[in-house]
Amino acid sequence: MVVPGLATQAGGALAIFTGAKSRSFTSIAASLNFSRNAIVGAPCDVIYPSTMPTNDGTHEKTLAALGVTSAEQISVLFAGLREQFDAEVSLEAVQLLWKEFRDRWIGRKSGVITQVTNNWLKPAPPGLKPTVGAELNKLKSHVESKLDEIHLKIENAEEEWARDERVDLSLPGVVRPIGSRHLIRQVLQEIEDIFVSIGFSVVEGPEIETPYYNFEALNIPEFHPVRADMDTFYLELPKGAPGPLLLRTHTSPVQIRTMEKRQPPVRVIVPGKVYRRDNPDATHSFMFHQIEGLAVDSDITFCDFTGTIEYFVKQYFGPSVKTRFRPSYFPFTEPSVEFDVSCIFCGGSGSGASGTTCGKCKGSGWIELFGAGMVDPAIYGFVNYDASKVSGFAFGMGMDRLAMLKYGIDDIQVFFQNDVRFLKQFP
């Protein structure tokens, strides 16, 4: 409610309503016979939203202090309070602060109604008392009935909410299936177990590498043709950053990192992700998994090498599987070989079930498995090992390929598609 002059006298915050409200503001002023000059002192630029509690303070003063002497002025005062109440009261505006709002108007101790009773009614001169009393009763019943109405609405809304939110205890619980290890993880575990059982330990290395570890220290200098085969992902680095860096194309850099840190004897396997710019198809993926192996000691021979590989292959695929190796080339092994296993699908015969050619080994009876070789003595130079005193072997196996062969999977992409129908087959 706004009663200019009165509000400034009271020194309280003044609410200026716009639109329809400002009309009644003027009419209240007019009926109170205040001149326009009296309004000038009011802080007209303060505008409160109509839902914000206003406090013009009139009910905190006695009628005498407010200079109110006639029944007409009393009616205007009460009309103002009623208008203020009506402007503030709405379901949306009060339901969250219901108790505060109710107490502000009808709270026993200091609600507006109590204050009007104490400040306006009780000390009113006998002549005005009946008018104040009648106006107060009208205001009180207006406020109370409106508050009752709103309170009922709030209760209904709460009940409705409670009904909607009620927990139905008869509903079945939510089943949260527990996942299982990915097949690649399971195969890694199998491979690790085999190598750990013969004295290897497991180490890991970074997936982002420097060209030094990925190439140079592995005897692949900058313009070596083999680099061209490794369609490599180089990282785009901010200007001025030390570089270049790349996603490792194989796990072999961890050979170097391990030998830099450890003295012989070294026997490690290195599982991890590797990256190459391969287009995805049934046998290629730009990211796949390798397991590197490295054994270096004072007198490791080619026989130790082939014996270890054969032991692993028989443990992994079964005792009936045969192995063979063919000459190959890697810059960091000398001699280098390619290991094959007898075809797991046709038992090495090369023919399928009804006498047809086996599709997996294309009739050869052999399946290419992985690259390996004796560590090239040049490598020892990069890690400060004495090449005249140590020897060793290394291998790099594709884990995805090993998993596909053992579990009869013909598309490498299924490992990366996260289709639970596939994953569930390997609980």
Site of interaction with ligand PHE (CB under 6 A): 250, 252, 292, 330, 333, 371-373, 394-396
Q: Which is nearer to ligand PHE, 14 or 374 (CB)?
A: 374
- Bin 407: left if φ > 0, else alpha if -120 < ψ < 50, else beta: alpha
> Considering the complex, what minimum distance in angstroms separates the CB of residue 266 from ligand PHE?
14
Pairwise CA distance, residues 426 & 420, whole Å = 10
DSSP state of 371: E
DSSP state of 59: G
Q: Which is nearer to ligand PHE, 250 or 257 (CB)?
A: 250
Compute, in degrees rounded to 10, the torsion defined by CA atoms 304, 308, 293, 321. 140
What's the CA angle centered on 340, arms 334 and 343, to 5 degrees?
Answer: 180
> Considering the complex, what minimum distance in angstroms separates the CB of residue 304 from ligand PHE?
15
> Considering the complex, what minimum distance in angstroms separates the CB of residue 244 from ligand PHE?
20
Q: Which is nearer to ligand PHE, 292 or 400 (CB)?
A: 292
- Number of residue whose CB is nearest ligand PHE: 396
Residue pair 299/368 in contact by the 8 Å Cβ criterion: no
Q: Which is nearer to ligand PHE, 115 or 210 (CB)?
A: 210
Question: What is the token pair recorded at 403?
Answer: 């998993």
Write down the H helix ranges in 206-336.
211-214, 226-229, 253-261, 302-317
Half-sphere exposure of 219 (CA within 13 A, CB side): 15
Q: Which is nearer to ligand PHE, 76 or 372 (CB)?
A: 372
Pairwise CA distance, residues 19 & 21, whole Å = 5
- Which segments of 331-365 are extended strands (E)? 333-342
> Considering the complex, what minimum distance in angstroms separates the CB of residue 181 from ligand PHE?
25
> Considering the complex, what minimum distance in angstroms separates the CB of residue 220 from ligand PHE?
10
> Considering the complex, what minimum distance in angstroms separates the CB of residue 183 from ligand PHE?
21
Residue pair 91/153 in contact by the 8 Å Cβ criterion: yes
> Considering the complex, what minimum distance in angstroms separates the CB of residue 427 from ligand PHE?
31
